[in-house]
Amino acid sequence: MQGETISRDFPAIDAIIKKYGERKEFLICILQDIQARYGYLPREDLERVAEKLGIPLIQIYSVATFFKAFSLRPKGGHTIQVCLGTACHVRGAERVLSKIKRDLDIDVDETTKDMNFTLKTVNCLGACALGPIVEIDGKYHGNMNTTKVESVLKKYSTKMKE
Partner 1 sequence: MEKIESPLELEKLRKSIQSKKKKEKTFISICAGTGCRASGSESVINAFKEEIKFLGLQNKVGVKVTGCHGFCEKGPIIVIHPKEIFYHNVEKEDVMEIVSETIIGGKIIDRLLYVDPTTGKKITKESDVPFYNKQKRIILGNNGKIDPTDIEDYIALGGYSALSKVLFKIKPEQIIEEVKKSGLRGRGGGGFPTGRKWESCRNAKGKLKYVICNADEGDPGAYMDRSLLEGNPHSVLEGMIIGAYAIGSKNGYVYVRNEYPLAVKHLEIAVNQAEEYGFLGKNILGSGFNFSILISRGGGAFVCGESTALMASLEGKPGEPRAKYVHTVEKGLWNKPTTLNNVETWANIPIIIHKGASWYSKIGTEKSKGTKIFSLVGKINNTGLVETPMGMKLREIIYDIGGGIPNKKKFKAVQTGGPSGGCIPEELIDLPIDFEKLTEAGSMMGSGGMIVMDEETCMVDVAKYFLKFLMEESCGKCVPCREGILQMGEILENITKGNGQPGDIELLEEISTVIKDTSLCALGGTAPNPVLSTIRYFRNEYDSHIKDKKCPAGVCQALIQYSIIPKKCIGCGACLKQCPQNAITGEKKQPHIINPEKCIKCGACYDVCKFDAIKRV
- Does 26 bind partner 1 (CB under 8 A)? Our answer is yes
- Cβ of 71: how many Cβ atoms within 10 Å? 18
Among 122, 136, 152, 157, binds partner 1 (CB under 8 A): 122
Asked if 135 and 125 touch (Cβ cutoff 8 Å), the reply is yes
Min. distance of Cβ 117 from partner 1 in angstroms?
A: 18
Shortest separation between residue 5's beta carbon and partner 1, angstroms: 25
Preceding omega of 132 cis (within 30 degrees of 0): yes
The span from the CA of 85 to the CA of 56, in Å, is 36
CA–CA–CA angle 94, 79, 12 (5° rounding): 145
Query: Closest by alpha carbon to 80, among 27, 126, 11, 149?
Result: 149
Interface with partner 1 by CB under 8 A: which range of 9-17, 21-29, 72-80, 111-119? 21-29
Q: Does residue number 90 form part of the binding site for partner 1 (CB under 8 A)? A: yes
Please, what is the minimum distance in Å from the beta carbon of residue 115 to partner 1? 23
State which residue, 13 or 31, has the beta carbon closest to partner 1: 31
Q: Is 124 in the site for partner 1 (CB under 8 A)?
A: yes
The nearer residue to partner 1, 39 or 85, going by C-beta atoms, is 85
Sequence-ordered list of residues with C-beta below 8 angstroms from that of 60, at least 6 positions apart, any chain: 27, 31, 46, 49, 50
62 is a site residue for partner 1 (CB under 8 A): yes
Q: Minimum distance from CB of 2 to partner 1 (Å)?
A: 24
Q: CA torsion 1→37→125→157, rounded to 10°?
A: -60
Residue ranges that bind partner 1, judged by CB under 8 A: 24-29, 31-32, 62-63, 66-70, 84-87, 89-92, 95, 98-99, 102, 122-131, 133, 138, 140, 142, 145-147
